[in-house]
């Protein structure tokens, strides 16, 4: 539909220019440059007019009233809400991409199983969404560890799929998997740090429960 509209406008403008040239008589060479710029200006105008505004925002999932109210209740401004949603949308895409990439190689799957990388990343994502004001606490995960791991695994898969491998290739593969393993461990640590307070609270509750059971002779 969009291409047909462009073709229609192009045909109309060029047809108008052609007719004006025919009827311009001796003023042909004076009129043509003027009409050329008019035609070009119209095409540019309609091209810009048809360009969607804030295209990046259209990629965001719909914001429910309940979720929006939770952001407001957390004391977030409109700009903070927008930045948070953009960041988390990008993070979600990276986690989905990372999961698909790690499933392409046995060595990457082993790393994932060893550190619960994808599980930790998804769990941390949910924790951040539930506590948006704490997003700065996850800066290393959001802006360094996760993006770097995505890039490293993509490069690993690319090299690992080379049809012909030499000694240098195998050495690079081994080096890459070691770095990927270390980066995956960092993501697990990121999650543990983020929920550390919850674990401390749980330890306190368990301790209190033990004391209560002990006093009642049930522990």
What is the residue extent of each domain of the chain? 2-52, 77-208
Region 4-16: what's the mean pLDDT? 60
Using CA atoms, how far apart are residues 156 and 176, in angstroms rounded to an integer? 6
Using CA atoms, how far apart are residues 128 and 122, in angstroms rounded to an integer? 10
Q: Are 126 and 97 in contact (CB under 8 A)?
A: no
**pTM score > 0.75 for this model?**
no
- The secondary structure of the chain as a DSSP string is -HHHHHHHHHHHHHHHHHHHHHHTGGGHHHHHHHHHHHHHHHHHHHHHHTSPTTHHHHTSPPPPHHHHHHHHHTT--HHHHHHHHHHHHHHHHHHHHHHHHHTT-HHHHHHHHHHTHHHHHHHHHHHHHH-GGGGGGGHHIIIIIHHHHHHHHHHHHHHHT-SS--HHHHHHHHHHHHHHHHHHHHHHHHHHHHTHHHHHHHHHHHHHHHHHHHHTT--
- pLDDT, tens digit (0-9, with 9 covering 90-100), for 92-143: 999 999 999 999 999 999 999 999 999 999 999 999 999 999 999 999 999 9
- pLDDT, tens digit (0-9, with 9 covering 90-100), for 35-68: 555 655 555 555 545 444 444 444 787 888 888 8
Q: pLDDT confidence of 28, banded at 50, 70, 90?
A: very low
């Amino acid at each position: 539909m969009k291409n047909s509209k462009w073709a229609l406008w192009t045909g109309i403008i060029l047809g108008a220019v052609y007719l004006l040239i025919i009827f311009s008589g001796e003023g042909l060479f004076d009129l043509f440059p003027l009409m050329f710029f008019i035609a070009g200006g119209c095409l540019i105008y309609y091209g810009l007019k048809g360009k969607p505004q804030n295209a990046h925002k259209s990629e965001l999932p719909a914001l429910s009233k309940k979720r929006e109210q939770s952001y407001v209740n957390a004391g977030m401004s409109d700009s903070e809400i927008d930045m948070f949603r953009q960041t988390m949308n990008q993070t979600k895409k990276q986690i989905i991409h990372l999961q698909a990439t790690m499933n392409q190689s046995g060595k990457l799957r082993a790393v994932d199983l060893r550190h619960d990388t994808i599980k930790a990343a998804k769990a941390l994502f949910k924790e951040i969404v539930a506590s948006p004001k704490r997003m700065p606490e996850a800066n290393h995960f959001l802006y360094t560890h996760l993006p770097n791991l995505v890039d490293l695994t993509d490069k690993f898969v690319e090299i690992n799929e080379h049809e012909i491998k030499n000694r240098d290739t195998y050495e690079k593969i081994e080096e890459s998997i070691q770095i990927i393993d270390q980066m995956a461990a960092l993501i697990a640590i990121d999650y543990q740090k983020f929920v550390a307070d919850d674990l401390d609270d749980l330890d306190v509750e368990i301790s209190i429960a033990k004391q209560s059971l002990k006093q009642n002779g049930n522990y």
